[in-house]
Amino acid sequence: MKRIIFLPGLLIICLSLFYGCASTPKGSSPSLSAGKAYYLKECGACHRHIRPEERTASEWPAILERHRIRVSLTPEQFDSLSQYILAGAKKDNSP
């Protein structure tokens, strides 16, 4: 009986974690959704996807500026990409 209750509960927890990891950071707006699409398309073309939370909000601007000339995005698209990454960036005082 415990197994019947345990397995569906475990499935719900796993799906919740999976959905949470795949969602757009800090809410969803059209700009963030577009930024996520540009991130998935452009940021993995030359290297592995570096998740926004792997760097701090103060580290990202220099990284983004270095990569600006390497991506095939309009300035508006690049701004959406930047907003998406900065929205999910690690806070500067986080360990």
Instruction: Reply yes or no on whether the pLDDT at 12 is more than 80.
Output: no
According to the model, what pLDDT value does residue 85 have?
A: 96
How big is the chain, counted in residues? 95
Model pLDDT for residues 45-87, shown as the tens digit of each residue:
888 999 999 999 999 999 999 999 888 899 999 999 999 999 9
Q: Which amino acid is at 37?
A: A
Domain definitions of the chain by residue range: 26-88
How much of the chain exceeds pLDDT 70, in percent? 68
DSSP structural state of residue 53? G
10 Å Cβ neighbour count for 34?
17
According to the model, what pLDDT value does residue 64 have?
A: 95
